[in-house]
Structure formats: structure tokens, C-alpha cells
Structure 1
């Protein structure tokens, strides 16, 4: 796992944070191709999150260019460029940078990223408190249509913030129990999942992310796009789940919203004491299998 420190990395292990953290999940409708305008919308949501007392905001998958495959396929003007250290200096993000510096709300926002070696990835950018923008994570599990647009990332990532550790995932990543488990194995207390779920996928949207929370007894912050035009119309439902998969905050299937919830380390400790899947899991799930004839 790559660790992205904000104010000092916390080592992995059984430790839990010492103080609660207020987080926000954004549910919003970006405009296809309008990176500057969508960054401005992200800035407004960051300001709202700060006014609500949040320290961390998660925005939907590919929020900056919008999750709109025809636009993404049309050219690279919707991409942001990363330098060899993973830093992004695109001036279209200046308003968002300034708002994060002003509010102190660390913001995770989806983008299409061009890397110096020519790779194009579906990524989460992390806007740090000092306004610096870095590529936090490149999506590892690409959905069918995305494979013509992006290359998969090759490693996981953990965001360290005020003593909390958050595994980073993007949409389809959260459909794989192993992805969330890898984050938990790295000491994650939570899992951040910016996503792009389409109308008609409500059942899966509402199943995967509370399952990842309970699987790994960790908080999950799920941000989703909303609105758009068929066949790229998104179904909202942004949410924050506690470590047993129970809803702490939830958005409707339509409409722009900001969901705010407090992550309590006492809840994390109590849940992991009562539900010991992380501590009791077998390293190889019982070793080699045998066939039992019926």
C-alpha cells in the first residue's frame, strides 16, 4: 500500500484513532467536459462541508471531467496531468485548492489523469490542507467500458488523516471483498469509495458498501454522482456506513446533497471487540481444499 500522509502517517496495526472525525460524502451532478466548472462545484461542496464541521470530503468518481464515456473518449482536454511525483498543478483546480486551504477540509475528488509515462488512469485526487493536489489512487478494477479509456492501477493506497487511516477505492473496486480486506489488513479504519452508479443498479449500490463495512469492521464513505442523461444517468444514494454496515447518513436517489456523519473511534473499538473477523480470519482460509463426495 502507498500511504498518503496529511499530518503525519499513522503506522498500520491494531491501533485505533483517539478522536472522532467528521466526514462528508458529496452527491452531485458534474457537467461533462467542464473541468473548471466542476472544480468550482467541488469547491462549493468543500465550503459546505467545512461549514458543517467536516474534516474530510469525498466526491464522486471522475467528478472533474464527469463520468461520461463519449466525452472521456473524445480527447485529453478533460484530463489533468501528473508530474513524476504524482503532483497535479492544473490551474483549473485553483479555486478548489484555495477553498481547501481556507477551510482545512481535505477533499478527495475523481479525475482522469495523464501520467508522465503516458498512462491514463481513473483516479482519486487528494487535495491536501496546504492546497497541494496529489494523485492518491489509480483505480485497479476497471468496469467493462472503462478498459478502452484507462489502464488499471497497480497498487492500493491509504490516506492518513488526523490519526485515521482510510483505504482508497473507486466504484468497481468495492465490488471485490479482497480490495476492502487489503485496506483493512493495512490498518484502515475506513474505506473511501467515490463511485458512479447508474439508474437501475440501486440493489447493488446498496449492498456492496455496507457489506464491505461489516466484512472489515470499518467505516465506509460512499460518494455517488446523480442526474445526467440516459444512458449515463446516475442514481445518488451517497452514504456513510458504520463498521457494522448500518447507515449513519444517506442521500436520496435524486438531487444534489451533502451527507455528514461523525466517525467515532469508540464505535470502531466496540465493533471489532464484538465482531472479530479481522482477528480470527485464517491466513489461507483453511489451507488446501478436499473434495467431499455426496
Structure 2
């Protein structure tokens, strides 16, 4: 499976329309690259820290994000993790991600469970999700997560207990804590013997700088590919059979005991 992570530059100096234009320009480069899976980052359309615009930017689950990216899924013949957007359902707002198949159909969605409270209004403005998301694809079972979720290992172990072989993560992780990002990405992959694909933002917004360093990590915790600090298209080939092989060779998950 060939994966493409689109590490987007997100800043307060541009509009959502300009970010869409740039994202679609990068997507157009993937038409003939035989890519199977494309990931975009967290809240790239509105900007994570642009809290004043959350309600205005909100859309239904099957709204602009799904409609526009469905076209690119078909054109590239690839699955797409949409990156997250502000979903509106009745009076509630969620930080939501979808997985589209190569025909543009929604295979599943995930509402961010762990909302960020440190120097952030996410907890005040949004409603937390209450379900993990595990989705069966033709390549294997994948689990969706978002940014701050990386700090909560129980969520990832639950996804693994339900058959997940690869974690697909969208993020807007800041440069100030990028060492934590690198540590958590490797740890969540290694302790769960799973691939981890994490797509981050870069750029500046309200004095906060995105950390970049999107990465693909093996089930053995090795970084197979990593972006820098600027906008970048990161490509890597992975084989989910490696998950089964490593788990059989070193069956640590079978030794897991839940301590009450």
C-alpha cells in the first residue's frame, strides 16, 4: 500500500479558499502516482486555533469536505482520510474526520474524543466524541484518531483489541511540543505493534507554530518516513502483512493483562 501524507501549511494570513486551492493542487499531483491512501491534517480548512470561526466554518457530515474530496478519491483511485473539519449536528459541534473509499463514499467517521484544553477553546466550543473508530478496508483494518488523542494510550489499545493494524492520525501539533509528538507516535506504534501514519500541519496562527514532522512508523516503532517543518508531500510504501508477521514473531499483545 502506498500512502501519501499531505503536510499542509496553515496560517492566519490566508483564507480557507486559498488553503483548499493549495490542497487540491497537491492532490492533483497524486493522480498518476499509484497512491492507495491519502491523509490530510487536523482542521486544515479553518485552522485549529481560529476558534472565532468554528461555528461559521461548521458543516454537516456530508458537506463540502466530503463532496470536494470525493472527487479526488475517484481521480486518484485512492482512499482519503479527509483530515478533520468542524461538523455540525443540530446544536453540537464536533472535530470530525472521515475515511473515504476510492469511489468517494464514506467508509466511516470519527469524532475526536480528547478535546484539548491547554491554552485552547476546543473544550468550550466542541462536543467530545464517545466512540473509537475501526474501519475494515481492502488493505486491513485501520483506526482513526486525532492529535491530542496520542497522549491517551488506552484509546489505541482498545482499537487494537478490535483488530486495528494501522492508526491513521490527523493533527495540528505545535512545534513547541514536537519532541512529545515524535515520542508518542513511535510509542503508540510500538506498544500496539501497529503501523502509525500521522499527518500534521505547519505554519503560524495566533502566535502558535505548527510542528510539521508528519511521519509513518512501523509496528516495531521505527520511523520509515518523516517530513520536515515546511509544507511537504510525504510518500511511503507499507505492507500491513508486516503487522501480522511481527505480532506472530513477538506476541507481546497476547501477554497483555488489564489491571483493575
Q: TM-score, normalised on structure 2?
A: 0.89
Contact 1:123–1:135 at 8 Å: present in 2 too?
Answer: no
Instruction: Report the CA distance shift for 1:51/1:95 in structure 2 as closer, same or farther (over 3 A).
Output: same
Instruction: Report the CA distance shift for 1:66/1:75 in structure 2 as closer, same or farther (over 3 A).
Output: closer
The equivalent of 1:106 in structure 2 is 79
Where in structure 2 are the equivalents of 1:262-273 lying within 5 Å?
Answer: 262-273=237-248
Q: Indicate yes or no: 2:216 matched with 1:243.
A: no
Where in structure 2 are the equivalents of 1:170-185 lying within 5 Å?
Answer: 170-185=146-161
Instruction: Report the CA distance shift for 1:127/1:38 in structure 2 as closer, same or farther (over 3 A).
Output: farther
Is 162-171 or 30-39 further displaced after alignment? 30-39
Where in structure 2 are the equivalents of 1:63-82 lying within 5 Å?
Answer: 63-68=44-49, 71-74=50-53, 76-82=55-61
CA distance in 1, matches of 2:41, 2:208: 14
73, 93, 97: which one aligns with 1:124 = 97
* SS of match in other structure, 1:80: coil
The equivalent of 2:2 in structure 1 is 22
Determine which structure has more spread, i.e. the larger CA radius of gyration.
Answer: 1
The alpha carbon displacement at 1:31 in A equals 4.9
Contact 1:217–1:275 at 8 Å: present in 2 too?
Answer: no
The alpha carbon displacement at 1:270 in A equals 2.6
The equivalent of 2:33 in structure 1 is 52
Contact 1:122–1:138 at 8 Å: present in 2 too?
Answer: yes
CA distance in 2, matches of 1:236, 1:166: 23
CA distance in 1, matches of 2:102, 2:4: 16
- Number of aligned positions between the proteins: 255
Instruction: Report the CA distance shift for 1:122/1:74 in structure 2 as closer, same or farther (over 3 A).
Output: same
25, 42, 56: which one aligns with 1:61 = 42
The equivalent of 2:20 in structure 1 is 39
CA distance in 2, matches of 1:44, 1:189: 31
Q: Indicate yes or no: 2:138 matched with 1:162.
A: yes
Q: TM-score, normalised on structure 1?
A: 0.80
CA distance in 1, matches of 2:124, 2:230: 30
* SS of match in other structure, 2:57: coil
Where in structure 2 are the equivalents of 1:113-262 lying within 5 Å?
Answer: 113-115=87-89, 117-132=90-105, 136-144=109-117, 145=120, 146-252=122-228, 254-262=229-237
Deviation string 1:245-265 (CA, Å, 9 cap, x unpaired) is: 10111011x211111122213
User: What is the alpha-carbon root mean square deviation over aligned residues?
Assistant: 2.1
Contact 2:190–2:221 at 8 Å: present in 1 too?
Answer: yes
Instruction: Name stretches of at least 5 consecutive residues in structure 1 with no aligned partner.
Output: 1-20, 83-87, 288-294
CA distance in 2, matches of 1:47, 1:280: 46
Deviation string 1:112-143 (CA, Å, 9 cap, x unpaired) is: 1101x321011113333223457610000011
The equivalent of 1:85 in structure 2 is none
* SS of match in other structure, 1:233: strand
